[in-house]
Amino acid sequence: MSTQNKFIKGALLLSIAGLLAKVLSMFFRIPLLYLVKDEGLGYYQTFYSVYLVLIALFLIGMPQAISKIVASKRAQNKPEEAYACFQGGLIVSVILGFAITTILFVFTNQIIELNSWSEGTKYVIYGLAISPVFVSVAGAIKGYFQGMQIMKPTAISQLIEGFVKVVVGISLTYVLLKSGFTVPMAVAGAAIGTSLGYITSAIYLYISYKRETKSLYAKLNKNELKIQMWRIFRMAIPVTIGASAFSIMNFIDSMTFYSRLETIGIVDKAATIMYGQIGKANSIINVPLAISLAVMISTIPAIAEANESNSAENLRSAGENSLKLSALLAFPAGIGLFVLAEPIMSLIYQSNNQGHIYLALFGICLPFLILGQALSSILQGIGRVMVPVGCIIVAAIVKYIVNYSLISSTLNGKGALIGSIVFCFTFFILNYIILLGYTKLKVSLSVCIKPLVSAVVMGAFAIIGFKVSRIAFGVSISTFIAVASASIVYIVLLCALRTFSVEELEALPKGSKLIKILKKVKMF
């Protein structure tokens, strides 16, 4: 199987698993919202945004750093060194995981005071603090499998994590509320469910890894292990920062939101409710972001392997495949959420649909964020791991300034989202300028034109479809009709514009049959 086919198949498998996992996550947020309202969701989202930054090293950095080195060693036919890389990453991850857990339990009150959070946030901190070490183990194992281009364990672990999170988290929250506990205490049940999802996923991955790597134990070289430990740590930090754009964006919101609102008299419950509304919008855009993460995960080992082949054509092809797959998702997702923000929020959250303006603004962020992440993955894959770090730092400074200025104005929460739009655009444009100007890899944005044109036409059909459907149906059915009809229009336009090559279509399940059908209707 060619590198391109493996890349597409791996990205597709992880995309499907990521999509299903985020659908499960929405089933977590929706009942949680009905149980604890915007206030409770605000408590959860306030710390969860920070928590994702704290564990980003294990969710993103370690897996991607390990996968890159493992892919390179695999291309060089050095399986023992690939295994030593994984072991080194695992040891470093576990040490750091224990350190994060200790900090969260010991310095809970200081963290709350530093950020002007409500006292009720501490219960969420306690619920999530038990999981970092398990997330660290899972991240290292995922990196090993991804570097070997074995995507099935990662895909299954995502589904296990989501299922346990929903069942345990919602059940615990419900039981705690019925037992007379306050809303902040009950939300701790959701946090514990999230932690147990991570723990169960880690156990599954550990069992899978033991089964896969048994034959390599005797060949492990201790000196090689030490070398790889330092190499992984040195690479994982910049990779984490460069690939954590969304988490860092939310982290800045969490750091500035309450303190800036406090200056204009919006405090405690009112501020928490507003942040909870942003959290609802956040949960919806997590669905396309899960798919884009799958593309990122597949990109780094694919680029690293192409880089090892010393073929400029293979490298350019892998880079443009990543960008095209990202564009195919980024434009329809962003435009769709922007034009249908209110009906989508009403469909998912019913009468609790406040905050749809935040979802529309997130729709503007999304294309820049997804394409920026794709570009940063390409840069990381060719070894320029520090470049995305610099782009993130500049974008973060700009966002902090915008947040600081606008949240305390009449814009309030919308000011934070405007800051996010500026952040995502800055992140995207800096990555692209550096990729073109300072590397030999000339990836063209022209691969994004056909998806963009198709998505713009799709957006127009979505608006028309919704308005026409509203004549006869309610909001929910009209939204389904609008999304379904717009999706069909988008797919037809992609095929009519000949967006895909033969090899790309053949990499899909039943790809050969699909090619025959498209040829029959003269769309290929």
The 3-class secondary structure across 218-244, one letter per residue, is: HHCCHHHHHHHHHHHHHHHHHHHHHHC
| Residue 437 burial (CB count, 10 A) | 7
The label of the residue with tokens 């949240």 reads 407
- CA dist 331 → 61, 198, 244, 419, 452 (Å): 26, 31, 20, 20, 6
Q: What are phi and psi of 439, to 5 degrees?
A: -135, 165
Dist CA 120 CA 41 (whole Å): 12
Q: H/E/C letters for each residue in 344-362?
A: HHHHHHCCCCCCHHHHHHH
Listed residue (296, 321, 240, 211) closest to 18, CA to CA:
296
Supply the pLDDT for residue 198. Answer: 93
| pLDDT attached to residue 218 | 46
**What gap in Å lies between CA 480 and CA 25, rounded to an integer?**
20
- What residue type is assigned to position 148 of the chain? M
The predicted structure's pLDDT at residue 186:
93
Cβ proximity of 374 and 321 under 8 Å: no
Q: Tens place of pLDDT for every residue, the chain, 524 residues?
A: 455 555 556 556 666 666 677 667 767 888 888 898 888 888 888 888 888 888 877 777 778 778 878 877 777 777 777 777 778 888 888 888 899 999 999 999 888 888 778 888 899 999 999 999 999 899 888 888 877 777 788 888 888 998 999 999 999 999 999 999 998 899 999 999 999 999 999 999 999 888 776 554 445 566 666 677 777 777 777 777 776 788 889 889 988 998 899 899 888 788 888 888 898 888 888 778 877 766 666 666 667 666 766 667 777 777 787 788 889 889 999 999 999 999 999 888 877 778 899 999 999 999 999 999 888 888 877 778 788 889 999 999 999 999 999 999 999 999 999 999 999 999 999 999 988 877 767 777 788 899 999 999 999 999 999 999 999 999 889 999 999 999 999 988 988 888 876 565 555 545 556 556 666 656 55
**What is the pLDDT at residue 417?**
95
Q: Are 464 and 508 a contacting pair, CB within 8 Å?
A: no
Q: What is the pLDDT of residue 123?
A: 93
Tell me the Ramachandran region of residue 520: left when phi exceeds 0, alpha when psi lies from -120 to 50, beta otherwise. Answer: alpha
Cβ count within 10 A of residue 264: 12
Cβ neighbors of 468 (< 8 A, separation 6 or more) are: none
- Name which of 323, 321, 344, 322 is nearest 333 in CA terms: 344
Asked if 21 and 98 touch (Cβ cutoff 8 Å), the reply is: no
Q: What is the pLDDT of residue 319?
A: 79
Q: How many residues does the chain have?
A: 524
**CA angle, 351 then 123 then 175, to 5°:** 60
- Residue 216 has a CB neighbour count (10 Å cut-off) of 15
The pLDDT value given to residue 320: 80
Amino acid 372: pLDDT: 92
| Sign (positive or negative) of CA dihedral 472, 284, 338, 10 | negative
Task: Please give the single-letter amino acid code of residue 476.
Answer: S
